[in-house]
Amino acid sequence: MAESHSGPNGASNGVLDSRVPDGPMADKWTDHKFSMKLVNPNNKRRFEIIVVGTGLAGASAAASLSELGYRVKVFTFHDSPRRAHSIAAQGGINAAKNYTNDGDSVHRLFYDTVKGGDYRSREANVHRLAEVSLNIIDQCAAQGVPFAREYGGLLDNRSFGGAQVSRTFYARGQTGQQLLLGAYQALAKQVAAGSVELYTRTEMLDLVTKDGRACGIITRDLISGEIAAHTGHAVVLATGGYGNVYYLSTNAMACNVTAAWRAHRRGAYFANACYTQIHPTCIPASDEFQSKLTLMSESLRNDGRIWVPEQLDDARSPDLIPESERDYYLERKYPAFGNLVPRDVASRNAKTVVDQGKGVGPLRNGVYLDFSEVIERDGHPAVAAKYGNLFDMYERITGENPYAVPMRIYPAIHYTMGGLWVDYHLMTTVPGCYSIGEANFSDHGANRLGASALMQGLADGYFVLPYTIGDDLAARLGEPVVPLSDPVFAQATSEVTDATQRFLSIGGTRSVDWFHRELGKIVWDYIGMERTAAGLEKALSEIPALEAEFWADLRVSGSGANLNSSLEKAGRVADFFELAKLMARDALVREESCGGHFRAEHQTPEGEAQRDDENFAHVAAWEWHSSDTTQTRHIEELEFEEVALTQRSYK
Amino acid sequence: MSGANDVTSQAGQTSQTSQQSHGRTLSLTLRIWRQDGPDAPGRFHTFDAPNISEDMSFLELLDIINERLIEGGDVPIEFDHDCREGICGMCSLMINGRAHGHELATTTCQLHMRKFSDGDVITVEPFRAKAFPVVRDLVVDRSSFDRIIEAGGYISVNTGAVGDANQTPVPKEAADTSMDAAACIGCGACVAACPNSAAQLFTSAKLAHLNLIPQGQPQRWERTEAMVETMEQFFGSCTNHGECTEACPKEISLDFIAFMNRDYVKAKIKNRKLTGQS
């Protein structure tokens, strides 16, 4: 779809209308809930809503919408909704409950999130997120989520990711798992009641639009290979982030950008693609066949000391390197925060020392995280009580005992803040198509705070979309869905069928994984932790070259008429190629450093990120035209009414 | 597997030995089950896997075999996997006859090749159970677990219809035990390991998660009846072998099965129209 359209959130002429309501920040959401149109309870059943994805955002949205009375179809490419990658989140979920009486408030959570996002998020969205954080904890506790408790039976909180207050709720190291199971069970309740139709092992491969409005999706049944069309009054994309463009990431293997990207190709603007988050404490890769990276909880930095040998390429075992020949580089450079500097600062510094040749481990690709001092001070049992399960996990993966040998860590891609542009209603620039959770760009700005991903996914699904979707649907009462007999469905179905066939017919020599690995190396090297104009230009020449090779030399064996995971991956990697080019362009144009986007040309004399609020306090949302032309960059100016823009400093 | 233990103990001794243990490679032979579809006959195919780094996970070994199959123009082996960090419950496999392999408390994705010895012959099959039909190769259909959850594995609270979370205190011991049960990842190893293909451990874990805490009480008895009876439509009966908990990557306790059995009997004798019978 090359031509631009104008919907209710009219995105034509490069003007993006965020539909942020007027009024004082603290009243916007309350007032807006009153001013939005409602669908009468008896009329809700006349609307069909398609939800794609069953992670925290998708499962919570599908359950909540069907409880309201809408007819819901929900799609997951997994065998069960419970497998979605939200399940792997370890740390916790933030909420401004102030149960600890330490001065937290909705305003403080709002303020911290805007600041933590390095002033690149939309204030009104963030304020709403902080407001509904309260409801999320209530809802999840009532669902039976086994949050950690105090001896009096009340909920326990901890401080997380450098926050000055204890506002993080958690369920051991498996908070994501327990919240997802809560949402999955709420969804299962609705499936059992017959008000949600669940499609498992079914992947969305296209968004269907008619007259500029979303009217359905095209899917592939991953078991039978059948390509099918589904129609609805609205389509909700809850399809997660795109961290797997780097090949090695902490994402699950199947995480991909395909659903969001196909919507982008049908007119949904893609925003802030260059905002990606690196997690500083992951286990380094051990060989070239490494398939994913495992995150070690950031809490380890509370007690571990990070160091590298002073000498280049020092092959000695760590216990043979005397104190005087070690560089505790974070403690040296940031005496106030030491090893607890924010994620991006810790990550960049690790890259710097490894690039200098001071990396440790067999591949020289890590830094030490050393617990010998705390073990000596507090004793082995105390450390085991605090970190025992993490130490066990580390030993299981590396075969090294971290009580005796320092851990080796290195940063890895963990989360993507960019995604489909959405307005205050969470609607994309394609009317009728919504995006929630990590798939959208909205709440985290250029950097997400710890324990805020779970909060945003559930906020969108339980407490925002169920309100905002009604405003749009109310105006369409009596409108039937576009029938599957409409030519738009036949057209889209045949395009998807052809695209699937094309992968099978290339008949080259290399596997999808090979191309994915090679693409990942380029993206990591040039659009990773540190970007430069020269590097980004290089990425923009290397990616298309590799992409051309992909289309000429890919080999997908097997057929399209049964389970064929190479074929599934081929489609996803094809989209990663296009996304990677957009990330490079987005990063190149954004001539500043902010949050997870660090341009080496833009740093303070101390080496910190240097924002340019004058020229870049805006969202960049890209409009697709065709495969042969580059996207057009549109701007949504960010206005800061409540939070004053300041430079972060951790000295 | 004796060689496995040697490596583990070595790694724990001093930094020098653990550093040296890196880079060891293994030559292995794999016998892998291949089957085109649910009704097609299956058989073992044998693959040589030389030069396998001991730092690889078992699934990365399968990745390599698949890369080689693709290079040779063959169809790669299908297997289920996703998070590769032991939490999504997607990976499975019977490895040398053991669900998720011989390593205790470990999913297949977290099983590393250093737990094997050079020259090993490794047999890889799908999870075996009538309720888990083979989809293709090593992939099975575990959706019968979803049917058990849909029968009552939830607390019926609609979004928004709840009071402040701290209005309902939960005794810490109850919350902790509930969490022990809720840690189940739904992988199905319990069923695959059971001589009867019973799903008592899975079902009881969800029942204990919800029945132990105050929020779960209103639906406790109907939930128990519905989930147990749905389970019995798909799965065999428990005869207390205890293989399930042995195979469970999350070490879910057999105690929960006893708890479920008690609750099931109680559910049958309680008159739920009378109040106060919790």
Query: Is A143 in contact with B182 (Cβ distance < 8 A)?
Result: no
In a domain, A622, yes or no: no
Clarify whether residues A294 and A254 are in a common domain.
no
Q: Choose the final residue of a domain: A596, A611, A626.
A: A611
pLDDT in tens, B182-235: 999 999 999 999 999 999 999 999 999 999 999 999 999 999 999 999 999 999
Position B2 scores a pLDDT of 34
Give buried/exposed letters for A330-350 (b at 16+ CB in 10 A, else e). beebbeebbbbbbbbbbbbbb
**Sequence letter at residue A319:** D
Q: Are the CB atoms for B184 and B250 separated by under 8 Å?
A: yes
* CATH number where A368 lies: 3.90.700.10
Contact status of B53 with chain A (Cβ, < 8 Å): yes
Contact A192 B151 (CB under 8 A): yes
pLDDT tens for A426-435 read 999 999 999 9
Q: Does residue A239 belong to any structural domain of this protein?
A: yes
Which pLDDT value is given to residue A490?
Answer: 98
A276-286 residue pLDDT tens: 999 999 999 99
Kindly state the average pLDDT of the residues B17-34.
Answer: 77
CB-nearest partner of B15 from A80, A171, A317: A317
Distance from CA of B223 to the nearest CA of A (A): 12
ipTM for the predicted complex comes to 0.95
Min Cα–Cα distance to chain B from A12, Å = 36
Q: Helix, strand, coil proportions of chain A in percent (round to 5)? A: 40, 15, 40
Separation between Cα atoms, residue A627 and residue A640, nearest integer Å? 36
Closest-CA distance of chain A to residue B51, Å: 12
Return the SS3 of A307.
strand
Q: What is the DSSP letter of A431?
A: T
DSSP state of B265: H
Q: How many domains does chain B have?
A: 2
Query: Quick one: A376 and A452 in the same domain?
Result: no
Residue bearing the bigger pLDDT, A344 or A352: A352
Residue A499 C-alpha, separation from nearest chain B C-alpha, in angstroms = 20
Q: Which residues of B192-211 are buried (b: 16+ CB within 10 A; e: fewer)?
A: bbbebbbbbbbbbbbbbbbb
**Residue among B102, B154, B206, B209 with most chain A CBs within 10 A, to mutate:** B154
CATH number at residue B230: 1.10.1060.10
Q: Count up the domains in chain A and report the number.
A: 3
Over residues A58-63, mean pLDDT: 98
Q: Is A236 among the domain residues?
A: yes
Q: Is B36 part of the contact surface with chain A (CB cutoff 8 Å)? A: yes
Count Cβ–Cβ pairs < 8 Å, chain A vs chain B.
245
Does residue A343 have an active-site annotation? yes
- B146 lies in some domain: yes
Residue B109 DSSP one-character state: G
- Cα–Cα–Cα angle for B223, B227, B229, rounded to 5 degrees: 120
DSSP run (H or E) holding A466: helix A465-474
We report the CATH number of the domain holding residue A247 as: 3.50.50.60
Q: Tell me: the pLDDT tens digits for A591-637?
A: 999 999 999 999 998 788 899 999 999 999 999 999 999 999 999 99
In this structure, the answer to whether residues B183 and B228 fall within a common structural domain is: yes
Which residue type, as a one-letter code, is found at position B183? A
Residues of A in contact with B166 (CB under 8 A): 99, 154-155
Residues B6 and B117 in one domain: yes
| Beta-bridge partner residues of A234 | A49
Tens digits of per-residue pLDDT, A152-206? Answer: 999 999 888 778 899 999 999 899 999 999 999 999 999 999 999 999 999 999 9
Strand partners, A103: none
Cα(B38)–Cα(B44) distance, integer angstroms: 16
Which of these three, B113, B135, B157, is where a domain ends?
B135
- Shortest CA distance to A418 belongs to which of A440, A450, A448, A451? A440
B153 part of a folded domain: yes
Give B248-260 pLDDT, tens digit per residue.
Answer: 999 999 999 999 9
Question: Which of A367, A390, A412 is a domain's end point?
Answer: A412
B248 plus B202 within the same structural domain: yes
The pLDDT tens digits for A288-325 are: 889 999 998 888 988 999 999 999 999 999 999 999 99
| B128 and B57 both lie in a single domain | yes
Q: Does residue B95 belong to any structural domain of this protein? A: yes
What does the alpha-carbon distance between residue A585 and residue B163 come to, in Å, rounded to a whole number?
A: 48
Which structural domain, as residue segments, surrounds residue A580? Answer: 507-611
Contact B139, B78 (CB under 8 A): yes
Six token digits for residue B28 = 């292995």
**B160 and B110 in one domain?**
no
* A430 and A399 inside one domain: no
Residues B63 and B170 in one domain: no
Among B94, B114, B135, the domain boundary falls at B135
Of A611, A630, A645, the domain-final residue: A611
Q: Would you place residue A483 in the very low, low, confident or very high pLDDT band (cuts 50, 70, 90)?
A: very high
Reported as a single tens digit per residue, the pLDDT across B97-152 is 999 999 999 999 999 999 999 999 999 999 999 999 999 999 999 999 999 999 99
Residues A287 and A394 in one domain: yes
Judge if B148 and B248 occupy the same domain.
yes
Assign residue B39 the CATH number of its domain: 3.10.20.30
Whether residues A528 and A593 share a domain: the answer is: yes
- pLDDT the model gives residue A651: 65
**Contact B153/A188, CB-based, under 8 Å?**
yes
Angle, helices A533-553/A487-506, rounded to nearest 10 degrees: 90
Q: How far is A170 from chain B (nearest CA, A)?
A: 11
pLDDT above 80 (res B275): no
pLDDT band at A5 (very low <50, low <70, confident <90, very high): very low
pLDDT of residue A359: 97
Closest by CA position to A282, among listed A405, A398, A455, A450: A398
Q: Are residues B118 and B168 in the same domain?
A: no
For residue B48, is it within any domain?
yes
Portion 106-125 of B in contact with A at CB < 8 A = 106, 110, 112, 114
Judged against a pLDDT cut of 80, whether residue A15 lies above it is answered with no
Instruction: Kindly write down the DSSP assignment for every residue of A151-210, as one continuous string.
Output: TTSSBP-B--TT-SS--EE-STT-HHHHHHHHHHHHHHHHHHTTSEEEE-SEEEEEEEEE
Same domain? A237 vs A353:
no
Q: Is the pLDDT of residue B1 over 60?
A: no
Continuous H helices in A354-464:
372-378, 380-398, 453-458
Residues B94, B116, single domain; the answer is yes
Residues of B in contact with A404 (CB under 8 A): 12-15, 18
Same domain, B148 and B243: yes
B83 within a domain of the structure (yes/no): yes
Are residues B159 and B131 located together in one domain of the fold? no
Helices (H) and strands (E) in chain A, counts: 17, 19
In a domain, B175, yes or no: yes
| Average pLDDT value for chain B | 91
Residue B159 sits in the same domain as residue B215? yes
Q: Answer yes or no: is A617 within a domain.
A: no
Residues A399 and A422 in one domain: no
B21 at the A interface (CB within 8 A)?
yes
Span A534-580, pLDDT tens digits = 999 999 999 999 999 999 999 999 999 999 999 999 999 999 999 99
Question: Do A233 and A287 lie in a common domain?
Answer: no
Same domain for A52 and A126, yes or no, is yes
| A304 closest CA partner among A430, A394, A429, A237 | A394
Of the CA atoms within 13 Å of residue B73, those in its CB half-sphere come to 3
Could you tell me how far CA A119 lies from the centroid of its own chain? Answer: 18
Establish if B276 belongs to a structural domain: no
Kindly state whether residues A71 and A86 are assigned to the same domain: yes
Mean pLDDT across chain A:
94
Q: Name the domain boundary from B103, B135, B167.
A: B135
Q: End-to-end distance of chain A based on CA atoms, in angstroms? A: 49
Segment A99-126 mean pLDDT: 96
Look at residue A428 and tell me if it is in a domain.
Answer: yes
Q: Which residues of B touch A171 (CB under 8 A)?
A: 179, 182
Contact at CB, A80 and B143, closer than 8 angstroms: yes
The active-site residue out of A83, A128, A343, A590 is A343
Q: What's A516's domain CATH number? A: 1.20.58.100
Residues from chain B that touch A553, judged by Cβ atoms under 8 A, are none
- Scanning B223-262 for CB atoms below 8 A from A yields none
Q: How far apart are CA A400 and CA B21, in angstroms?
A: 9
B188 at A interface, C-beta within 8 A: no
The nearest CA of chain A is from the CA of B70 a distance in Å of 6
Asked whether the beta carbons of residue A188 and residue B154 sit closer than 8 angstroms, the reply is yes
Is B10 contained in some domain?
A: yes
Determine, yes or no, domain membership for A136: no
The token duo for A133 is: 């954080």
* pLDDT tens per residue across span A16-49: 999 999 999 999 999 999 999 999 999 999 999 9
- Tell me which of A567 and A337 has the higher pLDDT: A567
Which domain covers residue B150, as residue numbers? 142-269
Between CA A436 and CA A49 the distance in angstroms is: 14
Q: Taking CB atoms and an 8 Å limit, are A466 and B18 in contact across chains?
A: no
pLDDT (tens digit per residue) in A371-382: 999 999 999 999
Q: Are residues A516 and A579 in the same domain?
A: yes
CB contact under 8 Å between A463 and B19, yes or no, is no
Same domain, A591 and A562: yes
